[in-house]
Amino acid sequence: MPTAPNLPVNKAIPQFAIPISVVALRAEAFSPGDKTIVISLTTKFSSVERTYSVPLECFYELAGDLQILNAFPDMTD
């Protein structure tokens, strides 16, 4: 099974996963009631901007994953 560079073995990318190149990512709105953020993204091979509603908790998990990958500075310092 192929793995992404510098990822631990347990973070292997499944064979059926094909990465999509995102060229723009923006936060559009925040809904405090249901704790979701509306984001818009544009991919490399499409000019269509897609909009998604993402639970706030996902961003906390993403920040943690980025810190593990050393791709995001520790903001607690």
Up-side HSE of residue 68: CA atoms within 13 Å toward CB?
11
Is 28 a member of any domain?
yes
Number of domains in the chain: 1
Q: Is residue 44 part of a domain?
A: yes
How many CB atoms neighbour CB 17 within 10 A? Answer: 10
**Any domain includes 3:** no
- Does a structural domain hold residue 30? yes
Instruction: Give the whole-angstrom CA distance, residue 77 versus residue 62.
Output: 19
pLDDT, tens digit, 9 for 90 and up, residues 56-76 = 999 999 999 988 888 766 666
Residue 6 lies in a domain: no
At 76 the pLDDT is 60
pLDDT in tens, 9-42: 556 666 777 889 999 999 999 999 999 999 999 9
Q: Is residue 8 part of a domain?
A: no
The one-character DSSP state at 63 is H
34 in a structural domain: yes
